[in-house]
Chain A
Amino acid sequence: MTRKQRRLGLIVACMGILGIAVGLVLFALRGSIVFFNSPTDLVEKHVAPGTRVRLGGLVVPGSIVKGQNLTVHFQVTDGNKAVDVNYQGILPDLFKEGQGVVTEGVVDPGGTFRADTVLAKHDERYMPREVAEALKKEGHWKDDYANKTGAATRTP
């Protein structure tokens, strides 16, 4: 093989692998992107039943109802609208009334949200960022988080 052919071969190999990678990325991105919604978004945007979305907000105090077989029902609110959520499984340690939560799942035709994942990876002083922003947008943000961490620590 001449030098030129070798170089060409290398370039073709690179392009081939990169092309496959780009194809995979585009294919996979189509299927696995999940949009974040606040309860208001979910109600106003009329998310089609069956579409996977994330729903985030605060757990409405007093709304948690536990049933048989680890089923649980609660409401998530951004202060404007509240959405009913059904979930079956074990809730994270940090799931609490009045605290921020992000759930992932699909909207049922009836308008309730069927979650298959409940995320609460933050610690007790933290609020999921998406939730904080959704709350801010609805004007129900008390700047609680800043008070707890920033101000409070400097003046114990």
Chain B
Amino acid sequence: MIPELGHFALVLALAIALVQSTVPLYGARTGDTTLMGVAAPTALAQFAFVAISFAALVTCYVTSDFSVATVFENSHSSMPLLYKFTSVWGNHEGSMLLWVLILSVFGALVAAFGSNIPAPLKATVLSVQSWVAAAFYVFILATSNPFIRLAQAPFEGRDLNPILQDFGLAVHPPMLYLGYVGFSISFAFAIAALIEGRIDAAWARWVRPWTLIAWICLTLGIAMGSFWAYYTLGWGGWWYWDPVENASFMPWLAGTALLHSALVMEKREALKVWTILLAILTFSLSLIGTFLVRSGVLTSVHAFASDPWRGTFILAILVLFIGGALALYAWRAPMLKQGGLFAPISREGALVLNNLFLTTTCGTVFIGTLYPLALEALTRAKISVGAPYFDWTFGPLFIVLMIAVPFGPLLAWKRGDLKGVTQRLTAAFGLAVIGILVVCVAEGRPVLAAAGLGIATFVIAGAATDLIERTGLWRAPFPIVVRRAVGLPRSAWGTAFAHIGLGITLLGIVGETQWGGEQIVSLRQGDKVALRHYDFTFEGTSSRNGPNYKELAVRFAVHRNGELIGEMVPTKRTFPTRDMTTTEAALMTRGVSQLYVSLGDVSKDGAVAVRIYHKPLVLLIWLGAVVMAFGGGLSLSDRRLRVGAPKPAKAKAKPKAALQPAE
């Protein structure tokens, strides 16, 4: 009964979505407020029905109702409750339902909290968003129905893919989807602006919070995915330039560009047409990401068993929305009033540079990701584009961007003073040089490490410079500094934190890639292996039974310079239901660095293949992402995003005249 209820609720959601996608739009075009008023209640109802549908699926999983095909395929009665719950989206059908659930959540949020948006714009936005929702409801109902029953209910399920039996599954997909799908709101706003043929600074102000929310979630989602891969796959890597990773990274790059260009539009009414295009591209890349991951054109842990019909269907959705949006853009964008041009040396100019670099890097990642697919479709030659390609294209471009990052926030709007800014960055630059010298003296050779560390320091110190200057730290008396700090717009804090986070992540990347060490050895009981200052002694093995697996554990005593600092116990788990083995690495955190031990295969004579890594500063990679997201959160709480129309800032909140946004 419950699965049928879920199925029926989903059909109802589709019906409501169809109403929502037409009636309010017609109302907005004809100026009929009653019809426009349909948008908000339908968006809320749509959310309610998808939520019922999702709750029904959750119930099936939690109660282990194996008469439902997807539950049978992806769950097991002996799994812990958390995994029973997360396995809802640990498969294609369920994850698509999560996708539309989040889509409807965003629709409902706009309906509930978008009271400051003018009625016609709001109605159009919700309508456009509902087109996307309707397309995906049809996709789920036609090709990926999670509620299909089996003729005879089996007694036991086939278990969730053991790799996915991890806490990461509880965080990574929902966060990532919040990001992907959140950009649908920016997309809907862009399409609505094109339909209305009107766009102004207020538009940017309404779009920005939604873009920010999506961006924060995507940042955290990607970081979580990377961290999860790091500790669970047993290879010690955190980014492989795998097409699936790129699929999530491209919307992030485009979304980051969108955040910055929307700022120019809000403050200076420039870059309007470009911002619209970016909003369309960002969501298009999210859709392409969904297509790449869900259609089965790629082989990876993410590509759950899939059939070609699904791929074709998503491709059709893709062509329809991206093609339609771009066609509409080509038709309507020339009619939008162009914004003014501006001096190249200015905050706007810096943000344009940022956009240029971000979109270009996004383009190089796009080429590297899709070139193999295109080539195979055209010539049937099968190739793969490896990490060196991305190191050589993404790397140099992003490094230049990183060097430019500290300059942006220090430049004034309208007309900046590059020389003045350079002088103000002298301290940051000095710190970076000191960092480089320290590395060169201490480590001797690695040029890359020194340069990377220098750039990271420059980014962090540069972002801090902005805060220090604006609060007058070290110049003004302390109480005034505090008052200024409190009075500083939250968005200024947000910018600084986001940029500091970027620097922290780079620091982690430099540490991990340049100073990391590894040992891959075959060990027997009593053997000892040294890595840097650490000694690892194989103490013994033990085995135990988990809820749905058997586990072999190997104990290592870890000494640093002869002193015992702890024990590390990596394990290997065997899941009988799927006849699969997974590796659970042992991690020891020391500050922000980690020791990492994972097991390879165990031979008959008791020798165990072991991977041991020393990963200096590795935690900074994800910590930086968290700091970036925190900065995004601060920016989101800025009061100007909560008010409807641009208002002059209070006198108290006014920083120095040079940094005053031009109204």
A interface residues (Cβ-Cβ under 8 A, vs B): 1, 3, 6-7, 9-10, 13-14, 17-18, 20-21, 24-25, 27-29, 31-36, 54, 66, 69-70, 89-91, 93-94, 121-126, 128-130, 133, 149-150, 153-156
Give Cα A14 to B397, complex, Å.
13
Give Cα A119 to B514, complex, Å.
24
Query: Could you tell me if B343 and A6 are in contact, using CB atoms closer than 8 angstroms?
Result: yes
If A6-B343, A123-B301, A150-B307 are given as contacts, then 8 extra A-B residue pairs at C-beta distance below 8 Å, sorted by A number, are A21-B393, A24-B392, A35-B381, A66-B603, A90-B600, A130-B299, A153-B69, A154-B151
Q: List chain A residues, Cβ under 8 A from B357.
A: 17
Quick one: which of B195-242 are within 8 Å of A by CB?
234
Known: A25-B393, A93-B580, A156-B150. A34 touches B69 (CB 8 A): no
Query: Could you tell me if A91 and B388 are in contact, using CB atoms closer than 8 angstroms?
Result: no
Q: Residue-by-residue, is B487-521 near A (CB-CB < 8 Å gives 1, otherwise 0)?
A: 00000000000000000000000000000000011
Point out which of B151, B152, B382 has the most chain A C-beta atoms below 10 A from its C-beta.
B382
Quick one: which of B579-621 are within 8 Å of A by CB?
579-583, 600-601, 603, 609, 611
Q: List chain A residues, Cβ under 8 A from B353.
A: 13
Determine the residue in chain A with the shortest Cβ distance to B371: A29
Say what secondary structure dominates the interface of chain B.
mixed
Known: A89-B520, A153-B69, A154-B150. A31 touches B392 (CB 8 A): yes
Name 16 A/B residue pairs within 8 A (Cβ), A-sorted: A24-B396, A28-B368, A29-B371, A32-B386, A34-B383, A36-B382, A90-B520, A91-B600, A122-B301, A123-B161, A124-B579, A126-B299, A126-B305, A133-B382, A149-B305, A156-B154
Q: How large is the interface on B (under 10, 10 to 19, 20 to 34, 35 or more residues)?
A: 35 or more
Known: A24-B364, A27-B392, A93-B581. A36 touches B69 (CB 8 A): no
Query: Could you tell me if B356 and A24 are in contact, using CB atoms closer than 8 angstroms?
Result: no
Q: List chain B residues, Cβ under 8 A from A94.
A: 580-581
B341 at the interface (CB under 8 A from A): yes
Point out which of A17, A54, A91, A156 has the most chain B C-beta atoms below 10 A from its C-beta.
A156
Quick one: which of B560-594 are within 8 Å of A by CB?
572, 578-583
Q: Least Cβ distance of B294 to chain A in Å?
A: 15
Q: Least Cβ distance of B506 to chain A in Å?
A: 19
B541 at the interface (CB under 8 A from A): no
Point out which of A9, A18, A121 has the most chain B C-beta atoms below 10 A from its C-beta.
A121
Q: Least Cβ distance of B473 to chain A in Å?
A: 35
B478 at the interface (CB under 8 A from A): no
Q: Residue-by-residue, is B329-368 near A (CB-CB < 8 Å gives 1, otherwise 0)?
A: 0000000000001111000000011001100110110011
B300 at the interface (CB under 8 A from A): yes
Quick one: which of B384-433 are within 8 Å of A by CB?
384-393, 396-397
The 3 A-B pairs at the shortest CB distance, nearest first, are namely: A90-B600, A36-B382, A28-B392
Q: Least Cβ distance of A125 to chain B in Å?
A: 7
Q: List chain B residues, Cβ under 8 A from A121.
A: 299-301
Q: Least Cβ distance of B648 to chain A in Å?
A: 28
A34: which of B360, B386, B393, B579 is its contact (CB, 8 Å)? B386
Q: List chain A residues, Cβ under 8 A from B520.
A: 70, 89-90
Q: List chain B residues, Cβ under 8 A from A126.
A: 299, 305
Give Cα A91 to B136, complex, Å.
40
Query: Could you tell me if B580 and A31 are in contact, using CB atoms closer than 8 angstroms?
Result: no
B73 at the interface (CB under 8 A from A): yes
Give Cα A1 to B600, complex, Å.
65
Q: List chain A residues, Cβ under 8 A from B396.
A: 24
Q: List chain A residues, Cβ under 8 A from B388.
A: 28, 31-32
B interface residues (Cβ-Cβ under 8 A, vs A): 69, 72-73, 150-152, 154, 158, 161, 163, 234, 296, 299-301, 305, 307, 341-344, 352-353, 356-357, 360-361, 363-364, 367-368, 371, 381-393, 396-397, 520-522, 572, 578-583, 600-601, 603, 609, 611
Q: List chain B residues, Cβ under 8 A from A70.
A: 520-522, 600, 609
Q: List chain B residues, Cβ under 8 A from A124.
A: 578-580
Determine the residue in chain A with the shortest Cβ distance to B601: A91
Known: A28-B389, A28-B392, A149-B305. A54 touches B384 (CB 8 A): yes
Give Cα A18 to B301, complex, Å.
34
Known: A17-B360, A21-B397, A24-B364. A123 touches B383 (CB 8 A): no
Determine the residue in chain B with the shortest Cβ distance to A132: B299
Query: Could you tell me if B397 and A24 are in contact, using CB atoms closer than 8 angstroms?
Result: yes
Q: List chain B residues, Cβ under 8 A from A133.
A: 382
Query: Could you tell me if A6 and B341 are in contact, using CB atoms closer than 8 angstroms?
Result: yes
Q: Least Cβ distance of B301 to chain A in Å?
A: 6
Known: A32-B389, A66-B603, A123-B163. A153 touches B611 (CB 8 A): no
Q: Least Cβ distance of B341 to chain A in Å?
A: 5
Query: Could you tell me if B386 and A90 are in contact, using CB atoms closer than 8 angstroms?
Result: no
Determine the residue in chain A with the shortest Cβ distance to B156: A156
Query: Could you tell me if A154 and B69 are in contact, using CB atoms closer than 8 angstroms?
Result: yes
Give Cα A81 to B585, complex, Å.
37
Q: Least Cβ distance of A138 to chain B in Å?
A: 15
Determine the residue in chain A with the shortest Cβ distance to B153: A156
Q: Least Cβ distance of B575 to chain A in Å?
A: 9
Give Cα A20 to B357, complex, Å.
11
Q: List chain B residues, Cβ under 8 A from A89.
A: 520
Q: Least Cβ distance of B553 to chain A in Å?
A: 16
Give Cα A32 to B394, complex, Å.
14
Q: List chain A residues, Cβ under 8 A from B154.
A: 156
Determine the residue in chain A with the shortest Cβ distance to B582: A93
Give Cα A138 to B579, complex, Å.
28
Determine the residue in chain A with the shortest Cβ distance to B367: A25
Q: List chain A residues, Cβ under 8 A from B385.
A: 29, 32-34
Q: List chain A residues, Cβ under 8 A from B69.
A: 153-154
Query: Could you tell me if B73 and A28 are in contact, using CB atoms closer than 8 angstroms?
Result: no
Known: A130-B382, A153-B73. A122 touches B299 (CB 8 A): yes
B343: which of A1, A32, A66 is its contact (CB, 8 Å)? A1
Q: List chain A residues, Cβ under 8 A from B343.
A: 1, 6
Give Cα A34 to B386, complex, Å.
8
Known: A6-B342, A6-B344, A121-B299. A90 touches B601 (CB 8 A): yes
Query: Could you tell me if A35 and B383 are in contact, using CB atoms closer than 8 angstroms?
Result: yes
Give Cα A13 to B351, complex, Å.
13
Q: List chain A residues, Cβ under 8 A from B397.
A: 17, 20-21, 24
Determine the residue in chain B with the shortest Cβ distance to A56: B382
Known: A32-B386, A32-B392, A154-B150. A129 touches B305 (CB 8 A): no
Q: Least Cβ distance of A104 to chain B in Å?
A: 8
Known: A90-B611, A121-B299. A24 touches B352 (CB 8 A): no
Q: List chain B residues, Cβ under 8 A from A34.
A: 383-386
Give Cα A125 to B158, complex, Å.
11
Q: Least Cβ distance of B174 to chain A in Å?
A: 22
Give Cα A4 to B383, complex, Å.
45
Q: List chain B residues, Cβ under 8 A from A123.
A: 161, 163, 301, 578, 580
Determine the residue in chain B with the shortest Cβ distance to A146: B307
Q: List chain A residues, Cβ under 8 A from B363.
A: 21
Query: Could you tell me if B344 and A21 are in contact, using CB atoms closer than 8 angstroms?
Result: no
Give Cα A34 to B510, complex, Å.
27
B383: which of A24, A33, A93, A154 is its contact (CB, 8 Å)? A33
Determine the residue in chain A with the shortest Cβ distance to B157: A156
Point out which of B341, B363, B390 has the most chain A C-beta atoms below 10 A from its C-beta.
B341
Known: A24-B396, A32-B388. A156 touches B371 (CB 8 A): no
